[in-house]
Amino acid sequence: MHVITTKKNVKGLVVERVPTEVLRLLEAAGRAADAEGMAAYAVGGFVRDLLLRIENTDVDVAVEGDGLKVARRLAEMVGARLRPHDQFGTAVLVLPDGLRLDVATARVEYYEYPAAPPVVEPSSLKDDLFRRDFTINTLAITLNGPEPFHLVDFFEGQRDLKERTVRVLHDMSFVEDPARVFRAIRFEQRFDFTIGRETLALLKSAVAQGCIGQIAPLRLGAELRYMLAEREPLKMVRRMAELDVLRFVHPALAGDGDGWRLLQHLKDVVAWYEPLYLDVPVERWFCYLLALVDPLPAEEARAVGMRIALPGRLQQVLEAFGQQRRGLPAVLDRRPPPRPSEVYRALEGMAPEALLVLMARSSEDVRHLISHYLTVTRGVEPALGGEDLIALGLEPGPRFTEILEAVRDRRVDGELTTKDQEIAFVRETYLARSR
């Protein structure tokens, strides 16, 4: 076992930037590796973000030797739950306080032909880092051995962090793993970096050769989701469009000016909605996806969802939205404006993500109607239930739904506010008449 470092001691930086419980865990991982006679390193995004002074407690540990053995010992030492994946020599540790740590055996990965499943074998840290996507992700920190908490930098990761550049390690990187096209854009835009000149040429050539088409639907969906879940999804979309990536996700996603305006409005709508902390959470990335497919005919929007293997519920929302928004303007744009109960009936059943996109594409008046629905009337229910109607002497049957909806409408419109008023209304409207 030999350890190569740059002699740059980063203990001070770790102590300064990393929460104490994470530091303790890293030290314990070092001791566990010592006990097994192996070398352990913190690797990847955690190290990159540490040097960028960005908070990231998502630690990946790579072990030269057997990651599972170190993980088991560490789990015992710190009282963590261990979820091993024997097959890959990796394990996830979950501590009682919820902190997680990924431990893996350092491994070499090679491809027998482009886009083939990789062949994986245990190997050195250097090999492990060489198989990674970009130089900025190849930095490591020793956790044990003669010089713990020293930076390991085989591939000029520090230089590229300083130069704020995303660079691949070798010419075949995008061909071997086309998903890296998305990752390059994501890191570039997230950190305000630049994709290096040669790397950009390799990326463009991989895209032009149709590499995006080789990405399996689930994987493609995950990459798109990561892009849209970033803090600034518009930057991601703009760069994806610029580099022709979206067109290769689906030809209909070439992008145009209208689509762009919608995304900008959506950003404002999301910024309004999220701080409200309503009990209806939205999947923000999915709002942006809906907005991206919004200009498309229903059939093409559906095809985009299929191409990225959207989970069933979301695919349903996407397809339903294509239908729903057609009928809506008639109700929402009406003059004089519809009553709150009519808005309720029109919007009921629409997913919150769809409602936000609808807001983004609507006039200010309609936006107010939808925001009133989302924040005030959505979820309003009558105080009365079926039992109450029976107690009032009504015959149970399908008519109950109609009655309760009528009661709810009046609540939504502010005409009824108490249960007594509801009872009086039901008596007057349904009992007086049936007598």
CA dist., res. 335 & res. 385, Å (int): 34
Looking at beta carbons only, is 223 or 409 nearer to ligand CTP? Answer: 223
Q: Of 348, 353, 354, 318, give the one whose Cα is nearest residue 331.
A: 348
Q: Least distance in Å: CB of 278 to ligand CTP?
A: 28
Q: Least distance in Å: CB of 230 to ligand CTP?
A: 8
CA dist., res. 318 & res. 296, Å (int): 11
Q: Least distance in Å: CB of 234 to ligand CTP?
A: 18
Task: Kindly identify the residues of this chain, within the stretch 241-260, that bind ligand CTP according to CB under 6 A.
Answer: none
Q: Does 133 bind ligand CTP (CB under 6 A)?
A: yes
Q: Does 167 bind ligand CTP (CB under 6 A)?
A: no
From 34-42, 75-83, 179-187, 341-349, give the range in contact with ligand CTP by CB under 6 A.
Answer: 179-187
Looking at beta carbons only, is 180 or 378 nearer to ligand CTP? Answer: 180
The answer to whether the CB of 41 falls within 8 A of the CB of 154 is no
Q: Of 169, 162, 142, give the one whose Cα is nearest residue 52.
A: 162
Which phi and psi (to 5°) does residue 121 adopt?
A: -140, 145
Q: Does 145 bind ligand CTP (CB under 6 A)?
A: no
Torsion-angle region of 318 (φ positive above 0: left; ψ -120 to 50: alpha; else: beta): alpha
Number of residues that bind ligand CTP (CB under 6 A): 9
Q: Least distance in Å: CB of 221 to ligand CTP?
A: 14
From 67-75, 110-118, 174-182, 304-312, give the range in contact with ligand CTP by CB under 6 A.
Answer: 174-182
Identify the DSSP state of 256.
-
E-assigned strand segments in 234-363 = none
Q: Least distance in Å: CB of 263 to ligand CTP?
A: 21
Q: Does 177 bind ligand CTP (CB under 6 A)?
A: yes
Q: Of 429, 378, 168, 126, give the one whose Cα is nearest residue 273.
A: 378
Q: Least distance in Å: CB of 60 to ligand CTP?
A: 6
Q: Of 337, 341, 345, give the one whose Cα is nearest residue 367.
A: 337
Q: Does 180 bind ligand CTP (CB under 6 A)?
A: yes
Task: Kindly identify the residues of this chain, within the stretch 305-364, that bind ligand CTP according to CB under 6 A.
Answer: none
Looking at beta carbons only, is 226 or 272 nearer to ligand CTP? Answer: 226
Distances from the Cα of 50 to the Cα of 46, 190, 266, angstroms: 6, 15, 32
The answer to whether the CB of 264 falls within 8 A of the CB of 357 is no
> Closest residue to ligand CTP, Cβ-based?
45
Can you name the residues that pair with 60 across neighbouring β-strands?
A: 43, 102
Q: Least distance in Å: CB of 183 to ligand CTP?
A: 6
Task: Kindly identify the residues of this chain, within the stretch 29-48, that bind ligand CTP according to CB under 6 A.
Answer: 44-45
Q: What is the amino acid identity at position 152? A: V
CA dist., res. 270 & res. 282, Å (int): 9
From 28-36, 173-181, 327-335, 358-366, give the range in contact with ligand CTP by CB under 6 A.
Answer: 173-181
Q: Least distance in Å: CB of 253 to ligand CTP?
A: 21
In this structure, the strands spanning 194-195 and 119-122 are unpaired
CA dist., res. 373 & res. 433, Å (int): 32
**Binding residue (CB under 6 A) for ligand CTP from 132, 167, 239, 411:** 132
Which positions lie near ligand CTP, rule CB under 6 A?
A: 44-45, 132-133, 137, 177, 179-180, 183
